[in-house]
Structure 1
Amino acid sequence: MNINKQEHINVVWFKRDLRLQDNEAINNAILADKPILLLYVFENSLKEDNHYSERHWNFIKQSLQDLNKQLLPFKTKVLTVSSEILKTFGTLQQFWKIDTVFSHQETGIKITYDRDKNFRTFCKNNLITWIENGNNGIFRGLKNRKTWQEDCEQYMQQSQFELHLDNTNFIPLETLHEIEKVFVLENLDTPKNKSFQKGGTSNAMKYLQSFFYNGRYKNYSFDISKPELARKSCSRLSPYLAWGNLSIRQVWQYAMQFRQISDHKKQVDAFASRLHWQVHFVQKFEMEDVMEFESINKGYRRLKKNLSKSYQIAWKEGKTGYPIIDACMRCLKETGYINFRMRAMVVSFFTHNLWQPWQAASAHLSSMFLDFEPGIHFPQLQMQAGETGINILRIYNPIKNSKEHDPEGIFIKKWVSELQNVPVEFIHEPYKMTVLDQKFNDITIGEDYPLPIVDIHSTRKKASDTLWSMKDDALVKKESQRILKKHTQPDRNKLD
């Protein structure tokens, strides 16, 4: 190998920041003025974790392919290794002296947090400096939110980090080809599947531009709760934010610039408020990552629920007997996306009507959501399960939501093929069809499509009575005050 083993280099370790523009790690590496190796490690431990699935890895691979296309003018690419991070750096040290590693602080799950702690020890023992920058207005080590709002807004308004063709010193392609010979490389090819959004900053920009300049945003707040219309009227940027193809700041500044020429400023503002909402919840998880496993409010850890494999299987497979629930779960499985209200509803159904612990839904949903973002995922599971003690208890009625947001059953019939011939008057509650109705419409409820696995009215009452009674528990009250004090602004009475 024609590699100078005495050469000092720096490494940019990509994680959930798969972009070149507005990437502080790359910016800092360039300012350090040493040869830069760009690295992504497909960690086997993460591949085996049940929060992740093939759809995530395909999205990441597509994002890396897009990165490599953007890197062609720099005559370099991202080294993509299939290994573990410590083993990878141990191998790299055979060829270079690594001075500094640049990355962002990842608000991830416990396995990634533990990995980062081990990596910090590795760096210390090997005299490597590891510089982690903040990410998307999230601040590590906060004890409260006294200045968080101002700090977050300041981040949003700051200039983006720009990558230009000059002043760069990346490890060249010919050297990378030599290095690749000693690693097990990750194949970046992915199967063609039009059901899933494709990863990469280039695709992210197409969605961002079409949302605003093609007018999709005009019906944003009107269609946000509708399972079919939201697929077009929402931005669909969530996976690109989750995996860092775009930064929150890029999107927010783009929206604010567009707002100046928009005739529908309220819609732009509604969208921008959701960006702040996202950062708020990620910050919450950053400050209390115990939410991955247990209720943030310790009082609700006393809540006992009996596991039912049959209920959980029916829910996962979209065979509960409630068409809107089943359509959502089947759509999620096939496309990786359902809108926010439907996400809240399927969690509510699981935790309240089926009376299953939110922890039992966590891995399945995270593996299905293409936009799996831990900082959104875990706080929202607990919020919809009614186990925070500070949020209004919401138990979504699937029939009411179905009639309000899919009145003609368009979304239902699209995803629950068994109900194609069911008339609109029965599409939300097919179990109300008489034997004659079923025969006339060529369907047998209980055979072709399941009867409801639970009664939503009695199960709702049980859940409501139980959770409301716990509001008066001394520990629940004490914890509620602690949570409010920690996660709200000083001049606010409740958490959004």
Structure 2
Amino acid sequence: MEKTATGTVVWFRRDLRIHDHQALHAAWKRGGPVACVYVQGFDEDKLARAQQTWMSQARKALHRSLMQKYETSLWCCKPSAHGYESVAQALKTCLDAIGATHLFYSRRYEPDAATEDDRIEQLIKEGGFNARGFEGHLLFQPMEVDKWMSSGKRIGRAHYGTLLPMLHAFKQMGDIGKVLPAPPSLPCLPRDSQRKLELVCTSMTKKKSQKEGALAPWADKLMQAWDVTEEGTRKALDEFIRQKLQKYEAQRSRADLQAVSCLSPYLASGMISPRTVYAASLQGEQGGKQSPVSKTFSRRLLWRDLAYWQFYRYPHLSHKPLRAHHTSHAWSQNREHLIAWQKGRTGFPIVDAGMRQLWHTGWMPQNIRMATASFLTEYLNISWLEGLSWYRDTLVDHDLAINSMMWQNAGRSGLDQWNFVIHPITSPKSSDPTGEYVRTWVPELAKLPTRWIHQPWEAPDQVLDAAQIRMEVDYPTRIIDNLEDARNATLKQTLDMQRSADPFFHTVGGYDVIWFRDISSAEKEAYLSSVDFQAWEPVFVHVFTRKELRHAGSVEERTQKTPTSSPVPSTKKSSTARKRTKVQRASNQTLLRRYYREAQEDTE
């Protein structure tokens, strides 16, 4: 007689779906009763206000889907204490309560979360259970990407850590696999096991806190803009594929046309898998192979994997500049400017529209996110960390890896600092040429003619009177009178920081240099003390540096005073410099080793 399979607990976190869920699919294939459990863990405790609200609605949506399709519940509980030990104990209690022997879950890839998952899995196994993690949050795991992004043969073919080498890696890594359907059925728990599990979860779950209750009015306003259900997720994807994808290449930068997918919150919470979105975006067979309808849209999904690879490679991505010398940048501490930016009251309509949309819906189009970020770091000279913190608190689609990468690049300290500055007056000519985006989110300017909508301060008095606008009363004055002066001041601060940094932070050509990987103090000292440097993998690597920020020349030349005739050091090398380039590049490694030994910087 065939032995009946024992039960399986499927642990849900940011994978709140039943379609293309590898852990759930594996539990169904294994046979035996399946219990779907949500145990709040490390990263859930740290979710900010907007995403707390979204995740709460997403859990309810998953519970409804499970009830409708399988007549089973999503059992939610929360450990009484913080830390991975408490999470592991809660999971073991659930396993014990129903007599299950297996725990299946979807992996997380943020450094702290991945470490916690490994420790939880070890504790589960030590308790006599089986535990296994599955993929699902990304197209490819960061460690798989790293094999291609960080191999010696690929370094130097393109700017390290940017999208181009990521595209090469994607082509080499093979098929992403087929999208899995929802399991046709899930064996329910026996009634006595259901009662035991309900008792366990009820005893662990805390009552709603006063802090959560205080968020209700703002949270309700956010949720009015979204359909946080399984049906809403499918509708968002279907509408984009049928109505917007064909026009995406031409219209993606138009904030006034609503041409983007709006799928990011569903991806961030795991209500839909990236594999499902990628597969849906492919067009029909051509020569036996499918290809993306929009290369740009398909690359948006690769950006997610790139961000997680950067986080895997550099665990300090979320809180410390990847270009170490940028820690000395003199950021502005003007709190009034920061608050005006946060509240959408800068006096620049495209910036204010974006920040108000963020506050009211928890979301902005990608190009408007970049415009508001550029304004903060390039014109206000306020730290990217302030922007990251505000986005984290207010975005319903906040993803620590993705937003950290974006803000590092906006703040010029990331692997791929932006090669542009978005002007808050001229850029709306392409992103909001009709002015409808501004009219939607800055209604006090709604009656202004399009000619003046992005610079109302230039409008004649009779135009303002006709539009019923009193500047300084109905709409704030600009917090910056002269954009060019503000931009030049930030540029000067950045160049001063570049020049004052130790010369070994730059290559001969003026490109910034960073550690090739985030290594411990012990590893660093071992390398710096090593005699046979060639036995090591590359330890330092140059990264893309915007031309106006390149601090060029040899080590000797870079210690000399920069000519006052040019605000940016020249990148043109003399014939003598060209001849010694090869020698100088080799010596850069030695100089960097000496610098880091003396500095004894700890990147852990």
Q: TM-score, normalised by structure 1?
A: 0.83
Give the alignment partner of residue 158 of structure 1, picking from 170, 177, 197: 177
> Is 1:28 aligned to residue 54 of structure 2?
no
Distance 1:105 1:254 in 2: 23
Offset, 1:236: 1.8
Contact 2:107 2:114 in 1 (8 A): no
Q: Is the 8 A contact 2:344 2:354 kept in 1?
A: yes
Task: Indicate how the Cα distance of structure 1 residues 389 and 476 shifts in structure 2: closer, same or farther if over 3 A, else same.
Answer: farther
SS at 1:400's partner residue? coil
Rate the CA distance shift 1:352–1:33 in 2: closer, same or farther, 3 A. same
Shift of the 258–66 alpha-carbon distance from structure 1 to 2, 3 Å rule, reads farther
User: 1:36 is aligned with what amino acid?
Assistant: V
Output the amino acid matched with 2:189.
I
In 2, the alpha carbon distance for the partners of 1:217 and 1:302 equals 43
TM superposition shift of 1:317? 0.7
Q: How far apart are the structure 1 equivalents of 2:370 and 2:364? A: 10
- Change beyond 3 A, Cα 1:406–1:178: same
Report the CA distance between 1:459 and its aligned residue: 1.4
Determine if contact 2:39/2:77 at 8 Å carries over to the other structure.
yes
Identity of aligned residues (%): 19
d(CA) in 2 for partners of 1:385 and 1:182? 47
Q: Give yes or no for contact 2:322–2:415 (8 Å, CA) kept in 1.
A: no
**Structure 1: how far apart are the matches of 2:170 and 2:298?**
17
Question: Is the aligned partner of 1:459 residue 2:486?
Answer: yes
In 2: Cα distance, 1:354 partner to 1:493 partner: 25
* 1:281 corresponding residue in structure 2: 307
Deviation at 1:287, TM superposition (A): 2.5
Shift of 1:427: 1.7
Q: CA RMSD in A?
A: 3.6
Given candidates 217, 228, 232, the residue that maps to 1:199 is 228
SS in 2 for 1:290: coil
Q: CA deviation at 1:115?
A: 4.3
Given the alignment, which residue of 465, 468, 473 partners 1:442?
Answer: 468
Structure 1 residues 192 and 330: alpha-carbon distance in aligned structure 2, compared to 1, 3 A threshold? closer
Alignment check: 8 A CA contact 1:77 1:173 kept: no
2:401 alignment partner, one of 365, 372, 375: 375
Q: Confirm whether residue 296 of structure 1 aligns to residue 297 of structure 2.
A: no
Matched, 1:404 2:430: yes
Letter of the aligned partner of 1:138 in structure 2? F
CA–CA distance in structure 2, aligned partners of residues 201 and 153 of structure 1: 34
Alpha-carbon distance, 1:318 to partner? 0.5
Tell me the residue number matched to 2:252. Answer: 224
Determine whether 1:107 maps to 2:109.
yes
Letter in 2 for 1:223: Q
* CA distance, structure 1, for counterparts of residue 197 and residue 58 of structure 2: 22
1:253-292 matches, within 5 Å, as 253-258=279-284, 267-292=293-318
Specify the alignment match of 1:355 in structure 2: 381
Q: Is the 8 A contact 2:141 2:305 kept in 1?
A: no
Which residue number corresponds to residue 189 of structure 2? 171
Q: Partner amino acid for 2:349? A: P
Cα pair 1:282 1:376 within 8 Å, conserved: yes
Deviations 1:95-134 (A, max 9, x none): 2455332212212474x45643552453254244432223
1-side partners of 2:386 and 2:223: how far apart?
30
Residues matched between the structures, number: 475
Give 1 or 2 for the bigger CA radius of gyration: 2
- Distance in 1 (CA, whole Å) between partners of 2:172 and 2:182 is 23
**Mapping 1:62-211, distance limit 5 Å:** 62-66=58-62, 68-83=64-79, 85-86=87-88, 88-89=90-91, 91-92=93-94, 95-108=97-110, 110=112, 112-113=113-114, 115-116=116-117, 119-120=120-121, 122-135=123-136, 136-141=138-143, 143-146=146-149, 154=173, 156-165=175-184, 168-171=186-189, 175-184=193-202, 195-211=224-240
**Aligned twin of 2:331:** 305
Higher relative contact order (CA 8 A, sep 6+): 1
| Residue 506 of structure 2 is aligned to residue 477 of structure 1 | yes
Deviations 1:241-264 (A, max 9, x none): 222222222222222255769xxx
Three-state SS of the structure 2 residue aligned to 1:443 is coil
Whether the aligned pair in 1 keeps the contact of 2:37 and 2:76 (CA below 8 Å) is yes
Name the TM-score, length of structure 2 as normaliser.
0.69
Contact in 2 for aligned 1:353/1:460 (Cα 8 Å): yes
Q: CA deviation at 1:414?
A: 1.3
Whether the aligned pair in 1 keeps the contact of 2:350 and 2:428 (CA below 8 Å) is: yes
- 8 Å Cα contact 1:60-1:199 kept in structure 2: no
Q: Is the 8 A contact 1:389 1:476 kept in 2?
A: no
> Structure 1 residues 395, 270: closer, same or farther in 2, change over 3 A?
closer
The reply on whether 1:38 has 2:36 as its aligned counterpart is: yes
Report if aligned partners of 1:321, 1:451 keep a CA contact under 8 Å in 2. yes
Instruction: Identify the residue that residue 4 of structure 1 maps to in structure 2.
Output: none
**Structure 1 equivalent of residue 455 of structure 2:** 429
1:238 is matched by which residue type in structure 2? S
- Aligned equivalents of 2:51, 2:128: Cα separation in 1: 37
Q: Distance in 2 between matches of 1:390 and 1:471?
A: 17
Decide whether aligned partners of structure 1 residues 65 and 392 sit closer, same or farther in structure 2, where only a CA change above 3 A counts. closer
Cα separation, 1, equivalents of 2:445 and 2:191: 55
Gaps of 5+ in 2: 81-86, 152-165, 209-215, 519-541, 546-604
Deviates more, 1:148-157 or 1:426-435: 148-157
CA contact (8 A) 2:15 2:269 kept: yes
Contact 2:321 2:327 in 1 (8 A): yes
SS at match of 1:39: strand
Letter in 2 for 1:460: R
Cα distance in 1 between the residues matched to 2:55 and 2:111 = 19
Pick which of 30-39 and 10-19 moved more.
Answer: 30-39
